[in-house]
Amino acid sequence: MNAPDFISMAEQMQRVLAFRRQQAHAMSTSARLELLATLQQQAFNSMHSNPAAVEAFVRRNHHQRRLSNVRRLEAEMRRCVEEPNA
């Protein structure tokens, strides 16, 4: 009796990603853009069907923007310290 072929979760994910990449490369640019628009609209509709989801999205988005701005300002300050005459 043959034993089933067990593969790791990581290998399964790699296979799925490779398949999705292959599908994406086979699509035309306009088809990929159309799919993107469809997926974005579905995500928007799904999120807006639940007020708590909208609130969580806004909170996460604002948090990420704050982090991004803090990192940008920190980099600018480091650059000013390293190059005081710049």
Nearest one of 67, 45, 48 to 56, comparing CA atoms = 48
The pTM score is 0.50
pLDDT at 4: 58
Residue type, 63: H
Domain limits, the chain: 51-86
pLDDT at 45: 94
pLDDT at 7: 80
Nearest one of 65, 66, 63, 86 to 78, comparing CA atoms = 86
**What tokens does 26 get?**
């086979």
Per-residue pLDDT of the chain (86 residues; tens, 9 = 90+): 565 577 888 899 999 999 999 998 999 999 999 999 999 999 999 999 999 999 999 999 999 999 999 999 999 999 998 887 75
pLDDT at 22: 95
